[in-house]
Amino acid sequence: MQTEIPNNLAETDIAPRAKFNPWLFVPLLYFMQAIPVTVVSELSTVFYKDFGIANEPITRWTALISLPWSLQFLLGPLVDLRGTKRRWILGGQLLITVGLIGAAAVLDMPHFFELSLLILGATAVTSALCNIATDGFYIIAMSKEQQAKYVGVQTTAYRLGRLFCTGLLVLAVGLLMRYAPVDVHTSGGQSFVLVNSGRRTLSQGLDLTVKDGLLQDTAAGVVQPEMKAPAGVFGLRVDGDGSVFAKTIFGESKMGDLLVLGPSDSAEPTAKPHSLAVGVGQSGMSPALAWPLVLLACTGLYFFGYLVNRITTPHPAEDAPAEPEAPGANRRNLQRTLLLVAIGLAAYFFMNAVVRLVADFLGHKLSMPGWILPAQDKVISFQVMLAPVAVELIQAGICVATLAIAIPAARRLLTGTVMADAFTSFVRQPGFLAIFGFILSYRFGEAMVSAMAPLFLKDSVANGGLAIPNDQFGLINGFAGVIGIVLGGLLGGYVVSRLGLRRSFWPLAILMHLPNLLYLWAAIYHPAVAALYGVAFVDQFGYGFGFAAYMVYIMWVAQRGRYKTAHYAVGTGMGALCIAVARVTSGIIQSNFGYVTFFTSVIVLSLPGMLMLLLIPLDEADGRGRPAPAAAE
């Protein structure tokens, strides 16, 4: 039997490690690991929304460029072919820096959506390779006792890196876009009508701003009749006749007209103001400038971290290039890896084409326009000379041809190798179907919410969103989110360690999905911004709490066989694929049925994952489920 397999796939004994201080490199490595992942998969949804891209293409294409993390376990052999883990980490961080600079540079260019997707997709591939090296380095640089001691530091640093992007960076953009209220006064006994907490008041002067997606006075309440604002407002203009315009990245759009009551009127305001004194409001920075500046600042911080890592990251003796066990082993491992990646991509695009064609057919039959392929013959936004259905059919045909060539070739190269045994043994383990169903369904609802929640918070009130400006969005995630996810993650790990997986799984799973009810409540009642801090806290706390049980189970499953690291990679790869499918599904449902139906469907689609808890094997010897620690996702 051939034994050409990366060193990290099988569990082997190693020589005693030299002692290094993990505080010098573990927190920074995992904080930086989170930045490209979050920028590509989460932050991009926020700035694409500010740039006017619709929800469905945002969720569909950001799910696509996030695929490298789903296929990360297939890319593992590449890291072991040449060089050391340390060189892969530092080289990857340098390339990620270049990618982030490129993404920021194209945001103000024509076809920015397509260009930024290409750059962010390439950055995702680099990040996936860098993540593999980082996780491998974590294992070889420390003893098992140190790995156990610092796994909490590792995961907390990663989560803080994620919330640094979704909280502080978005807050910075919001502060740059913040604008001064417009001072408006009427005369001749005419008054504006305002409503605040159900109370109706009159005023002859207003300080106009947009809050909660509506035109409001900064202190007195919502201007009547209500005027709904578009997303991404960074300035207001009021004309002398009372016309109100919102400034967005698309220019100025009219929100409505200010109406007043006369001295003897008592009904709703219907009259145009006779004499209106209007101050000049100072606009904020356009998103087309604010986002590139903030992304460049983030890149500068990331590059500084790279320079620090060059000094603080140690040189463990175990971090040496793998020696090929047979002539040509590197070339054959590379061929196997590329064939497996080609199979994964072809399968994804084939399923994508089939789903879109079926949805188009049902959309015509059931009169659901959101399911129908766009009438224009375009791929992303590039004009092609083919109808949309023909484009999907050609895509499916190319994928079938690729699979027909790649699958037999991969079978020939993999048959009889330890690499093949490492991957197929995961499928052969007892209870695989239940494990597979659990991995694909447990996080499905949570992944849908994670993809759509930022769009829900930022979308206009007219579209069913909450129209939260970026500064408040950043504070919600950066304050309530950070506290919630850190407390939830630490407490979830503590509960599992004390009660064991069997006894703690159901409570943790329920708390993970509880925030779905709060989002449904927010979609129905559109609460004040203050309430959203509580929603964000419960959301992130529940995620950290329930995710701890999920990760412990994946680690336990990985240790049922010989190839522990490979099985862990396969399990997390399947989980990442679930997230990609959930993101695409979320865009389709929301674009067709709106936010209320979307969050209702999230609750329904969370039930299979809960029911799988009744079927998955939990046969650990002591009933407590305490697997050895593994690298953070």
Higher pLDDT, 145 or 606: 606
DSSP state of 271: B
Give the C-alpha separation, 454 to 294, whole Å.
18
Query: pLDDT (tens digit, 9 = 90+) per residue, 205-257?
Result: 888 888 877 888 888 788 888 888 887 788 898 888 888 998 888 888 888 88
- Model pLDDT, residue 331: 67
- What are the E-state strand segments in 212-365? 214-217, 221-224, 236-238, 243-248, 251-257, 276-278
Whose tokens are 């040189």? That residue is 315
Residue 136 pLDDT > 50 = yes
What's the angle, vertex CA 103, arms to CA 98 and CA 109, rounded to 5? 130
Give the number of other Cβ atoms within 10 Å of residue 18's Cβ. 11
Do residues 41 and 162 touch, judged by C-beta distance below 8 A? no
Q: Is the peptide bond before 225 cis (omega within 30 degrees of 0)?
A: yes
Chain Cα centroid distance, residue 559: 29
Give the C-alpha separation, 590 to 526, whole Å.
17
Give the C-alpha separation, 475 to 401, whole Å.
49
Whose tokens are 């007043």? That residue is 260
Give the C-alpha separation, 417 to 419, whole Å.
5
- Model pLDDT, residue 340: 76
What average pLDDT score do residues 517-539 get?
A: 89
Residue 192 pLDDT > 60 = yes
Helices 72-81 + 112-140 axis angle, to 10: 60
- Specify which residues 378 forms β-bridges with: 383
- Model pLDDT, residue 29: 94
- Model pLDDT, residue 50: 84
Do residues 629 and 147 touch, judged by C-beta distance below 8 A? yes
The amino acid at residue 432 is: F
The amino acid at residue 354 is: V
The amino acid at residue 108 is: D
Six-digit token string for 465 = 């969103």
First to last CA, the chain: 33
DSSP, residue by residue, 530-596: HHHHHHHHHHHHHHHHHHHHHHHHHHHHHTTSS-HHHHHHHHHHHHHHHHHHHHHHHHHHHHHHHHH
- Model pLDDT, residue 629: 40
- What are the E-state strand segments in 329-393? 378-379, 382-383
323's CB contacts (< 8 A; 6+ apart) are: none
Give the C-alpha separation, 572 to 121, whole Å.
20
**Reduced to 3 states, what is the DSSP secondary structure of residue 228?**
strand
Do residues 93 and 309 touch, judged by C-beta distance below 8 A? yes
Q: Where are the domains of the chain?
A: 22-177+288-323+429-614, 182-283, 328-425
- Model pLDDT, residue 132: 81
- Specify which residues 215 forms β-bridges with: 210
Sign of CA pseudo-dihedral 454, 456, 458, 459: positive
Query: pLDDT (tens digit, 9 = 90+) per residue, 26-62?
Result: 899 999 999 999 999 889 988 888 888 877 788 778 8
Higher pLDDT, 91 or 379: 91
- Model pLDDT, residue 415: 76
- Model pLDDT, residue 329: 61
DSSP state of 24: G
Residue 291 pLDDT > 90 = yes
Six-digit token string for 154 = 């590792």
- Model pLDDT, residue 427: 81
Architecture of domain 22-177+288-323+429-614: Up-down Bundle (1.20)
Residue 286 pLDDT > 50 = yes
Six-digit token string for 218 = 């900064």
- Model pLDDT, residue 6: 42
DSSP, residue by residue, 159-215: HHHHHIIIIIIHHHHHHHH--PPEEEEE-TT-BEEEEETTEEEEESEEEEEEETTEE
Residue 80 pLDDT > 70 = no
pLDDT tier at 626, thresholds 50, 70, 90: very low
Give the C-alpha separation, 360 to 316, whole Å.
55
- Model pLDDT, residue 521: 94
Six-digit token string for 305 = 């971290």
Percent of the chain, pLDDT > 70? 85
- What are the E-state strand segments in 212-338? 214-217, 221-224, 236-238, 243-248, 251-257, 276-278
Query: What would the 3-class secondary structure string for 514-545 be?
Result: CHHHHHHHHHHHCCCHHHHHHHHHHHHHHHHH
pLDDT tier at 563, thresholds 50, 70, 90: low
Six-digit token string for 386 = 């083919």
Out of 63-77, 161-175, 206-220, 363-377, least confident range: 363-377
Closest-CA residue to 140 (of 207, 86, 200): 86
DSSP state of 2: B
| R_g (Cα) of the chain, nearest Å | 27
Do residues 247 and 209 touch, judged by C-beta distance below 8 A? no
Higher pLDDT, 181 or 561: 181
Closest-CA residue to 280 (of 208, 204, 210): 208
Six-digit token string for 614 = 């009744």
pLDDT tier at 446, thresholds 50, 70, 90: confident
User: Phi then psi for 14, rounded to 5 degrees?
Assistant: -130, 165
Closest-CA residue to 210 (of 456, 469, 464, 455): 469
Residue 84 pLDDT > 70 = yes
Whose tokens are 């989002």? That residue is 519
